[in-house]
Structure 1
Amino acid sequence: MAAVINAEIRPRQTDIHIFDRLSESNGNIKPLSATEDQISLVQYTDTFGALIGSSPSHSILLSSSETSKNPFFHEACVFLPEHNELYVTSNLLQSTSSARFPTILISRVKLHRSDRLSGENDVHTVEWAKLRPPPGIDMPNGGVNYKDGILFCAQGSEKIGSGGIYYMPRKAAPIPLVTNWYGRDFNSVNDVVVSNDGCIWFTDPSYGSEQDFRRLPTLPNQVYRFDPTTGDLRVVADGFGMPNGICFSPDEETIYITDTDIVHTAGSKWKKDMARYARPATIYAFDVVTRSGVPFLTNRRVFAFAAVSFPDGIKCDVHGNVYAGCGDGVEVWNAAGTLIGRILVPSGVANFCFGKEGEMFFCAEERLWRLQLAKTTKGALLGV
């Protein structure tokens, strides 16, 4: 597919709404939402003000909202700083052929920046290439930096033996790392993170079967840890409706996992069922403790509940604050679980990532956004 070049990127100032929760009458907090064509920030605490900086700005890098309206910008959102490249997976796209099932594409977005000698970090031009997933990476979803490339979550297809975690080097064929639970296919692997010891932690909800491109599940919806040096594969957490996003705190003493059980896509009856609001739209925190020489997850607790819709992709910054893509954009909590701010993004955010020197990238289905915050606001994953 031919690359698309957008050389008309113009950053604009980002509005900041400083919000005093105690000033609201009767303790009520007014609902807030993004305007149609810009990002805005809601500051609840001075801590969030320090993350924002004095002059935040934002821009739309790419958009399909005026053309195909295809949701090209949905998940993964992996930034490779040494190459100034961003990799994003689409939501389900209807096939243009006679294929029975929809497809998912991978976007590679090359970022061209302003002159670094001027002290600016703005992106002025992007080159967008839409790629068909390599063989094996069926219906890709989440991803994370790994060695010189990316770990992709392959949700799998209707075929037995598909799905799992694949390593995709930049200039080589993908390598399957873990593709089943001792002979039983995973449900539809969703998101992944790598700990400092090189082990791979991933979530496995059953959205693939609900969306009719995957067979019925043969496993519960669980969280796994895989050690690529020994081949050891363990279930580390269960009891979720739909385990989704996953990340570590900077010191790796805590792991955060989102449960998006409020979201089900099977049949219109579910969509009309008001009981769905009793299901989790929740971030759970676990302590990571070592027993018999390996990590276990203990002390499961509610960390936060989304203000709008549900929390999907999740990341920490170097200060220990927790960010999650939600229906209003990205909601931000401190390590105590207090909502300190919100980044309001039109159409909400499924996943996102930190870039260089305080920048963030947001996947909002038909649009890919960039936000520049204070240069000291960095993601714990890369720390750049």
Structure 2
Amino acid sequence: LDLPDTVQMTNAGTGPYNGSLLLVNSGRGPLPPNLVLVDPANPQNATVILDNFFGRQFNSLHNAKIHPTSGNIFFTDVAYGWLNHFRPLPLLPNQLYRFDPNSGSVRAVADGFVLPNGLAFSQDGSTVFVSDSGMAGGFIGNNQTGPATIYAFDVDPQTESFGNKRVFSYIDGGVPHGLQLDTAGNLYAGTGDGVEVWNSQGTLIGKFFLGSSSSEMLFIGNGRLIILAETKIYMVSLAAEGLDVDYPQGSSSVSEDPSGC
């Protein structure tokens, strides 16, 4: 894709959302972080749909998922840009937001994180999982007492605010990154030495040891999982299928199973 200069430091993507790819961009220098819709068909137009919170630039947008029933976009904003020297001092807390593209409404739905990272909704959208990688502090250095934790929240069916926060899992190596769910309710997360998998009760049931950290993974259909691990890309065959993350669900024409990263 030949993207415009308004798209800087793309960190994640999901969808399709109404036929377009949703890119999550961290920004660079004075250029703001933003959410961008990209038409996969030529001429592949890119449209910025959100780049500020009531006039204040976000810190560094990091990850996003589309709610499976409402179609609203939920995303994490975290000061990674400042911690890694490509964004100015943060103007907002590190927190999680809800954006309604139809009305333009944007609001915070969960705070109290150190460094919120990935997120994933259950199949019915009633539960959301959010990772906090606060142990890893960029140029400040690591703090072993900081969170390397995945939390679960209930999603209010009316307001879509997050409540009833509880620990789902604490990572034994590194910090948790991009989250994905399969159709059996198992949760996948990139960690310091590969990818870990938990069942819906939070019990660790498996691990892909890669010898390096993984920040993202995605299901691509037919029992295949793509894992991004530093300088390598792996494809795993397994007896699992990822949840639909397109909206409306089942409408994907970009790939077989375009899981958000």
Q: Same fold (TM over 0.5)?
A: yes
Residues 194-238 of structure 1: per-residue CA shift (max 9 Å, x gap): 012110000001000111110110000010000011111110000
For these two proteins, the number of residue pairs brought into alignment is 243
Structure-2 separation of matches of 1:326 and 1:133: 30
- Residue 132 of structure 1: CA displacement? 5.8
Structure-2 separation of matches of 1:357 and 1:149: 23
Structure-2 separation of matches of 1:136 and 1:287: 35
Amino acid at match of 1:378: E
- Residue 133 of structure 1: CA displacement? 4.2
Q: Does 1:221 align with 2:86?
A: no
Partner of 2:48: 176
Q: Does 1:306 align with 2:171?
A: yes
Q: Does the 8 Å CA contact 1:134/1:173 hold for their aligned counterparts?
A: no
Partner of 1:380: 243
SS at 2:82's partner residue? helix
Residues 100-121 of structure 1: per-residue CA shift (max 9 Å, x gap): xxxxxxxxxxxxxxxxxxxxxx
Residues 331-359 of structure 1: per-residue CA shift (max 9 Å, x gap): 01111111111111231211010011110
- Residue 261 of structure 1: CA displacement? 0.5
Structure 1 or 2: more helix by fraction: 1
Q: Does 1:243 align with 2:116?
A: yes
Q: Does 1:287 align with 2:154?
A: yes
Partner of 1:151: 22
SS at 1:294's partner residue? coil
Partner of 2:253: none
- Residue 279 of structure 1: CA displacement? 0.3
Partner of 2:9: 139
Q: Does the 8 Å CA contact 1:136/1:174 hold for their aligned counterparts?
A: no
Structure-1 separation of matches of 2:123 and 2:190: 19
Structure-2 separation of matches of 1:155 and 1:198: 22
Equivalent of 2:57, from 160, 164, 185?
A: 185
CA RMSD of aligned residues (A): 1.5
Equivalent of 1:371, from 233, 236, 256?
A: 236
Partner of 1:97: none
Q: Does 1:278 align with 2:150?
A: no
Partner of 2:125: 252
Partner of 1:362: 227
- Structure whose alpha-carbon radius of gyration is higher: 1
Partner of 2:33: 163
Partner of 1:347: 212
Amino acid at match of 2:53: W
Structure-2 separation of matches of 1:250 and 1:330: 21
| Gaps in structure 2 of 5+ consecutive residues | 251-256
With the length of structure 2 as denominator, give the TM-score of the two structures. 0.89
With the length of structure 1 as denominator, give the TM-score of the two structures. 0.61
Partner of 2:254: none
Percent identity over the alignment?
Answer: 37
Structure-1 separation of matches of 2:89 and 2:7: 19
Structure-2 separation of matches of 1:133 and 1:280: 35
Amino acid at match of 1:184: R
Partner of 1:261: 134
Equivalent of 2:74, from 189, 201, 212?
A: 201
